């Protein structure tokens, strides 16, 4: 059980808001030492994992492209688009994005959207514009941005486990197999579906509640809840 001490290090480190890279490396060292591995062996395992999954650096290619698009008015056009859609609200927009994010993640398409690819340049500006329209300019723009980012996280986190070849499913299968429990990846994926549905209902309800608050602010000239 000592090898699980790395999880405690991650929890405490993130609660204290330490540098994420430092927290992860420290957790890896603690876990390696608990498993009777030397510092060199732990660093070697970290290097091998990074080299095997080096495709994650694709984000450094996406960011300059997003920056160029934003410099040429991508966010302004996204805001104008949502303003022309009749009946569009922040909650409805984000619920549609939540459904898209969950379904695409369930098919293994986890990289076609994300904070850099879709939330910052498109989803967040559209949500902000819809919130401003509903509240007649009294809404907090940071709240709309936060909800857009949270929607992306919820959709990805609870959607990707439905895909049988995702890393989390393979990790769970390996842990169960090491403890003598044989389960095919498909069985684990099927049991992720009820959780994904529950996450959609709960977060969707939060978004509809946010819509209700915004509509109340729009009806009140002082921007306060009646």
pLDDT of residue 60: 54
Residue ranges for the chain with pLDDT beneath 70: 1, 49-75, 78-79, 81-85, 218-226
> Is 74 among the domain residues?
yes
72/27 same-domain check: no
Domain that holds residue 157: 58-219
Sign of CA dihedral 33, 36, 42, 45: negative
4/96 same-domain check: no
117/63 same-domain check: yes
> Is 183 among the domain residues?
yes
How many angstroms separate the CA atoms of 84 and 212, rounded? 21
- pTM of the full structure: 0.65
14/82 same-domain check: no
38/138 same-domain check: no
21/103 same-domain check: no
Tell me how many domains the chain contains. Answer: 2
6/71 same-domain check: no
72/124 same-domain check: yes
> Is 89 among the domain residues?
yes
Q: What is the DSSP letter of 58?
A: G
pLDDT digits (tens, 9 = 90+) for 2-54: 777 888 888 888 888 887 778 878 888 888 888 888 778 877 877 776 666 55
99/137 same-domain check: yes
15/95 same-domain check: no
158/211 same-domain check: yes
Helix, strand, or coil (residue 184): coil
């Amino acid at each position: 059980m000592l090898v699980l001490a790395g999880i405690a290090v991650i929890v405490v480190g993130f609660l204290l808001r330490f540098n994420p890279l430092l927290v992860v490396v420290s957790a890896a060292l603690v876990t390696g030492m608990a498993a009777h591995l030397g510092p060199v062996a732990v660093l070697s395992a970290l290097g091998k994992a990074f080299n095997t999954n080096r495709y994650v650096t694709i984000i450094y290619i996406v960011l300059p492209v997003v920056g160029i698009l934003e410099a040429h008015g991508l966010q302004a056009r996204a805001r104008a688009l949502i303003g022309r859609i009749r009946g569009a609200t922040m909650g409805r927009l984000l619920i549609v994005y939540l459904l898209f994010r969950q379904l695409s993640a369930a098919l293994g398409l986890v990289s076609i959207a994300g904070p850099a690819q879709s939330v910052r340049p498109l989803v967040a500006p559209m949500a902000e514009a819809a919130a401003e329209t509903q509240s007649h300019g009294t809404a907090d723009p940071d709240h709309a941005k936060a909800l857009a980012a949270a929607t992306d996280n919820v959709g990805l986190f609870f959607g990707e486990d439905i895909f049988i070849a995702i890393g989390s499913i393979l990790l769970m299968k390996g842990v169960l197999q090491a403890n003598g429990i044989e389960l095919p990846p498909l069985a684990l994926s099927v049991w992720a579906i009820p959780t994904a549905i529950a996450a959609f209902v709960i977060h969707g309800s939060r978004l509809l509640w946010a819509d209700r608050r915004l509509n109340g602010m729009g009806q009140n000239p002082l921007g306060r809840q009646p």
